[in-house]
Amino acid sequence: MLALLGLGLSACQPDLEKDFEPSNGTADFSNYIAVGNSLTAGFSDGGLYLEGQQQSFPAILAQQFATVGGGEFVQPLFGAGQENGSGYLRLANIVNGLPVTASVNTNLALRQGATAARPLYTKFTGQINNLGVPGIRLSDIETAGYGSVLGNPFFERITPDAQATQTYLQRVAASNPTFFTNWLGNNDVLGFATAGGAANSLTSVADFTDKNSKVIDALTATGAKGVVATIPDVTTIPFFTTVGPSFRTTLEAGKVSGLVIQTGAAPGGATSANRKPITTGDIKAVDGTGRQLFTLLSSPFLPLVGTKTGRPWRYVYGQSGQPAAGFPLFLAAYGIDTTAAFGVSAGNPIPSLFVLDDVEQGQVRTATNNFNAAIKTKAAAKGLAVFDANAFFSTVASNGLVVNGVNNTAGFVSGNLFSLDGVHPTPRGYAVVANEMIKVINSTYGAKVPTVNPTSYRGVKFP
C-alpha cells in the first residue's frame, strides 16, 4: 500500500528537467552574428582586453545557444602575451572611500608602426562572428575606409588589407547570419553627452532611421531572426551620476555659494552670453534633485583639488594630477584662463566640456527617444525580438537588481554591474544583459534557451 502511495505521489511531481528541455523554437542559432559597438565587443574598464572579450554578452549567448543547436562562435580574441589588448583601468586602491585607478599598459596587442596617436592592433582577419567595433556609430556604417582611412583601430584590426575601404555595412551584409543580435546606436548619443554636448556630434534622426533600416535589412536578407536592443538613457550611468552629488557635497562643505559655468558647446570670450552663473543648489544629478551633470573629466578618475588660498576649486586633468599635453591650449581656445580657479568668475568659467547642462540633457533624452522609436518600428516591421535596454537600465538605476539574493545597482564600483570607466558593464553586467536577451528570444521565438547565473561572473575586481 505504501509503495502504491509513493508511486502515486511521484507521478504527481512535475519533471522540471522535461518542463525546461532546451529547444530552439522557430530560431536557427547555427550561425549567430553579433553586430554592434563596444558593448558587443566586450569593452570594459576603459579598454578592450581578453577577459572582457571572453565574457562579452555575445560570448555568453553563444555558450547558451550551443545547447539548442548553436554553431561555433568566433571572436577576434587577443592572443597570449597580448591579452591586455588596448590596455585598461584597474582598481589600485580605495583612499578615504574614493577609488584610485591605474592604467594597465603591459602585454598590449600593438603591432609595428603603432603610435600613441594611432594605435595599430594585431590583425585578426579570419571569419568572425562577433562584429562589435568599439567607437562605431550607426552613422558610420556606410563610411568607406572607416578603419584604414578614418582610423578606427578596432575595425582596422578585423579588416583585411585587400579590403581596406570596406564599410561596416558591407561586412555585416557578408556575414550571412541565421540569427543575430544588433546593438548599434549608443555612440550616436554617448559621444555628445560625454563631451558636454559637443557641437554637431548628435546623429540626426533621419540619418539614424535610414541606417538602422539598412543594417536590419542586411541582417534579415536571407530570413534570419534576431534581437535588436534599444539605447539606454546615458545620463543614468555612473559616468554621470557619480560626480554630481559628490561635487555638490564638496562645494557645500567648502561653503561655496555659487559658480560660473560655460553652457552650450561654442567657444566664447570672457563676456560671452554663454557664461552662466549658477548657485550650488543648481549642481544636481539625474535623480530629480537638480539640474547640472558633470562628465568624466570631473569624475573621481580626474580629481577635484581643493585649497583655501585663492584657487578653491581647480580641476586637474590626468592621473598624475598634471595637465595633459595640449589640454591648456584646448581650453585657451575657449577663452578660459587655465592658471586660475575654474568657476570663480565669468572670465574663467567651468568649461562647457565638463558640463552637460539642462538644455543638453534635454537634447540627449529627445535623441534617445527618437532613436529608440526608430529601432522599435523597424523591429516590429520585421517581427524581431526587442531587448528594451532603455527601460531595463532605467529600472536598475532606480531600483537596483536582485539576482539570487545578491543586490546589484548602477552605483560606481560597489554596484557590481558597471566597470571602472562608468559606462561599460562588468562581466556580471554583461551576463545580466545576456539573460535579458535570452528572455525576449524565448518569448518571441518559442525557444527554451537556458539563462546563466550572473552571480558566477565578477563585478569590479578589487585589489
Nearest to 290 by CA among 225, 336, 240, 330: 240
pLDDT tier, 336 (very low <50, low <70, confident <90, very high otherwise):
low
Average pLDDT of the segment spanning 54-75: 98
- Is the pTM higher than 0.85? The answer reads no
Asked if 27 and 177 touch (Cβ cutoff 8 Å), the reply is no
Amino acid at 79: G
19 phi and psi angles, rounded to 5 deg? -65, -30
pLDDT at 208: 98
Asked if 460 and 72 touch (Cβ cutoff 8 Å), the reply is no
State what percent of residues in the chain have pLDDT above 90: 58
Amino acid at 170: Q
pLDDT at 113: 93
State how far the Cα of 80 lies from the Cα of 67, in Å rounded to an integer: 28
Q: Locate cell 564599410: which residue?
A: 167
Q: Which residues contact 348 (CB under 8 A, 6 or more apart)?
A: 260, 336, 337, 340, 341, 342
Secondary structure (3-state) at 441: helix
Average pLDDT of the segment spanning 323-348: 53
Amino acid at 450: P
pLDDT at 239: 79
N residues, the chain: 463
Whether 232 shows a pLDDT value over 90: the answer reads yes
Amino acid at 443: S
How does pLDDT run across 419-440, given as a tens digit for each residue?
998 899 999 999 999 999 999 9
Whether 292 shows a pLDDT value over 90: the answer reads no
Asked if 190 and 237 touch (Cβ cutoff 8 Å), the reply is no
Query: What domains does the chain contain, in order, with CATH numbers?
Result: 20-237+362-456 (3.40.50.1110), 239-358 (no CATH)
Instruction: Look at 217-226, 331-340, 437-446 and tell me which has the smallest mean pLDDT.
Output: 331-340
Average pLDDT of the segment spanning 41-49: 96
State how far the Cα of 290 lies from the Cα of 157, in Å rounded to an integer: 43
Asked if 214 and 185 touch (Cβ cutoff 8 Å), the reply is no
